[in-house]
Structures are given as structure tokens and as C-alpha cells.
Amino acid sequence: MTLVVDRIGLLVTNDPGLGEGFLGLVRDASVVVADGQVVSVGPAGQVADERIDVDGACVLPGFVDSHTHLVFTGDRAEEFTSRMAGRPYDGGGIRVTTDATRAASDDDLRALTASRMAELRAAGTTTVEVKSGYGLNVDDEARTLRLATEVTDETTFLGAHLLPAEYEGRVDDYIDLVCGPMLEACAPHSRWIDAFCETGAFDVDQCRAVLDAGRAAGLGLRLHGNQLGHGPGVQLAVESGCASVDHCTYLSDSDVEALAGSDTVATFLPATDFSTRQPYPDARRVIDAGATVALATNCNPGSSYTTSMSFCIALAVRDMNMTIDEAVQAATLGGAVALRRTDVGRLSPGSAGHLVVLEAPSHHHLAYRPGVPLVRQTIT
Ligand code: NIG
């Protein structure tokens, strides 16, 4: 069965070999997909079994959202409201969501996750990473990861998200639990391991221990770092060979230099800076130094309750000194690199047939028309 997506006015391929600039832009194009894979990108008018005529619209690769915490229940709108009135974000609300998530049934969590997945898809996301981190005990971390595997292969064990209340004053014991029995229960449901390296969460030695244990268990590494202030997260991520260090809101010159000399992706989460009233990072500085950057939503009930990659693109352009082309690439190919995936985030022969059709003539409208649901169709 072949499908041709035809009469594309402007196609973003992310393959400079196929078209103009680093986005590999092709005008008046079509894409042929067979058995879920792109088989050709060519001029409009190719033939296939099924045809979708997009009538001059812009088409781009499905967004790759490389950082979410989708499996949770509970509402923290009051926390957000009080932040908007001046209260700072400190991550403490993670325990509120943990209490609610532990008490929820599998079916309730499954239904909530499915509805968030539907929201993501309608907004153009076709690949999504999902972290645990609201279970914080062996059974609930493993349970939430098992539920996450029902919706994605990109699952991340984040037992080291915050110290659960019952371990107050015993952080070393908790790290032993995370690196031992919890990892053993969660590794079968996880591709990645992550830790929250921040004052108030876990320190650099505790995070290093978690990453080392994850590596020994065969998991890929990622890290939350430099979200609430300057700190050692970026340096630890680079030293440890993490695929990505996420947040990067506060970066020193040596952090930028370390990222530029590494293959660790700097993943920015601007909707978090929006929702926590943090300053936006200067992505220009990181890009100009030569590092690879990604954009992701960080969808979670505390610091960033959005599933919209378009919103992140608009913020990155308006407030992080990224060009629109850079932001669109960071939300597609950048996310794929952050997940060490070569099959998504681009539209070229051999890649996944994940396409987003915009209700717009160009990808620039993603920033030009903020807040407008511009995704006409998501094809996978
Ligand atoms: O990425 N930084 C830590 N974790 C999430 C916040 C989770 C929460 O507040 O519930 C984040 O911002």
C-alpha cells in the first residue's frame, strides 16, 4: 500500500541534500510513503494507491517531543496561579503529583495518558518521550513506566526526580533504592535513565551514581540540569555521555563550551520558563558555539502543562534568539538527535512517514501565528 501526499506548496525535509538550506526546503513537492516509510520526495504529481491532496499547504516532519512526563493525575492549577502572583517554582509540587498518581488506578492513568497523547498528535507530535518520576517507589515507578510503554518506545526511568516524603533525611538510602531494586524493576520498561540535578533535588554525586547504575543496566542517559540556577548538571551530562541535558536555562561560558565540544544535545524547554517565570535561555549563544539544540514541551502538571510544540517554537523565536528555521529544526530533527533516532525528524527516503500538514503556506506561520492550532492533519 503506497500513499502520496501531493501538491505540497513547501516541504521541510531537514535533508539539505534534497533542497534549499539546512531545512532542505522543496517547493511544489510530493512525498510517497510505503509501509510507513518515505520512499521518495519528488515533484508534485507522483502516483500511488492513495492520494492526499494538500492543496499548496506546508508539510513538515512530525514533531519529536523528547521530554515529557505524561503519566500522572492531579491538578496543580492553584500552584500555577500562585506563581503568577509571584511565588517562585521550586519543584516541591512533584510530591503533590506523586501522592495523586500513586493513588490512581491503572485504568485512570491509562485514560489520562491516552487523552494527552491524542492532544499531542493533534498538535503534530509523532514521536514522544515519556518519563516516570511521579511514582517514586519501586511499584509505582515500574507501573507508570509499564503504562508509558503502551504509548511509546521512548520511555525514561526518572526515579531520581525528587526525594519522596517517606525518605526525608535519608537521601543516600533513597539513591541506593533507585540504583538497586527500583532500577531492576524499571529497566525492563525503559530505554533511558534520567535524574534531576538541581539544588533541592539531587546533587552531582547522587546523579552521577544514578547515571552510572543506569549505564550498567544498559540504559541510555539523559539529565535534567541547570533549570533553576547555575550548577553542575551540564558538565555532568557531558562527562557522562548523556544523549541530552534538558532545561539549560542557566548556562555559564564553560557549560556552553562543554556542550559545543560534545555530542550531548542541549534541550530547551521554553514553555517551562514561561510557566515558572524563569528567564529564557539565549539559544543563539549555544547554537553559535556549535552545539546541537532541541526544543521539547516538558508536558507535566507542575512546570509546563502544554502539549504544543508550536507554542515552544514561538517562544524560542520570540524570546530565545532562534530563527524560525532553527526553531522548527530543533522541534523535529533536534528532538530526534536528542533521542539518538535517525529514522524520525526528517522526510527523506528511508525515514518514517510521519508528516504534519499545516493550515498555512509556510512553517514560518508556526511563530507568526502563535496560539493558533495550525496543524490540519498528522499522518503516521
Ligand atoms: O522538568 N524539573 C523537574 N521536573 C519537572 C517538573 C515536574 C513538576 O513540577 O511536577 C520539570 O520541570
| C-alpha 303 – ligand 1 centre gap (Å) | 6
Could you please report the per-residue DSSP string of 217-258?
A: TT-EEEEEESSSSS-SHHHHHHHHT-SEEEE--S--HHHHHH
Please, what sign has the CA dihedral across residues 100, 106, 107, 113?
A: positive
| C-alpha 290 – ligand 1 centre gap (Å) | 28
| C-alpha 134 – ligand 1 centre gap (Å) | 10
Three cell numbers at 283? 539559544
Residue 317 neighbours by CB under 8 Å, 6+ apart: 323, 324, 327, 367
Whether residue 270 has its Cβ less than 6 Å from ligand 1 = no
Whether residue 272 has its Cβ less than 6 Å from ligand 1 = yes
Cell numbers 520570540 label which residue? Answer: 318
Whether residue 281 has its Cβ less than 6 Å from ligand 1 = no
In this predicted structure, what is the pLDDT of residue 51? 96
Whether residue 378 has its Cβ less than 6 Å from ligand 1 = no
Name the closest-CA residue to atom 1, ligand 1.
298
Whether residue 136 has its Cβ less than 6 Å from ligand 1 = no
Q: How many CA atoms lie within 13 A of 125 on its CB side?
A: 33
How many helices and strands, by DSSP H and E, does the chain display? 15, 15
Three cell numbers at 310? 508550536
Q: pLDDT tens digits, residue range 246-263?
A: 999 999 999 999 999 999
Residues 94-116: what's their mean pLDDT? 98
Q: Which of 131, 73, 76 is nearest to 104 (CA)?
A: 73
Cell numbers 524547554 label which residue? Answer: 269
Contacts 24+ apart (CB under 8 A), 253-260: 255/226, 256/285, 256/286, 256/289, 256/291, 257/289, 258/234, 259/234, 259/286, 259/289, 259/291, 260/286, 260/289, 260/290, 260/291
Q: Looking at the chain, which runs of residues are DSSP E strands? A: 2-12, 25-34, 37-43, 50-53, 58-61, 63-65, 125-131, 154-160, 192-197, 220-225, 244-247, 265-268, 293-295, 355-358, 375-379
CA pair distance 154, 128, nearest whole angstrom:
7
Best residue among 72, 102, 244, 298 to mutate for probing ligand 1, ranked by most atoms within 8 Å of CB: 298
Whether residue 202 has its Cβ less than 6 Å from ligand 1 = no
Three cell numbers at 288? 553559535
Whether residue 159 has its Cβ less than 6 Å from ligand 1 = no
Q: What is the pTM of this model?
A: 0.98
Q: pLDDT tens digits, residue range 262-315?
A: 999 999 999 999 999 999 999 999 999 999 999 999 999 999 999 999 999 999
CA pair distance 184, 181, nearest whole angstrom:
5
The answer, yes or no, to whether residue 118 has pLDDT greater than 90, is: yes
Name the closest-CA residue to atom 11, ligand 1.
303
Q: pLDDT tens digits, residue range 40-58?
A: 999 988 889 999 999 999 9
Name the closest-CA residue to atom 5, ligand 1.
303
CA pair distance 31, 39, nearest whole angstrom:
8
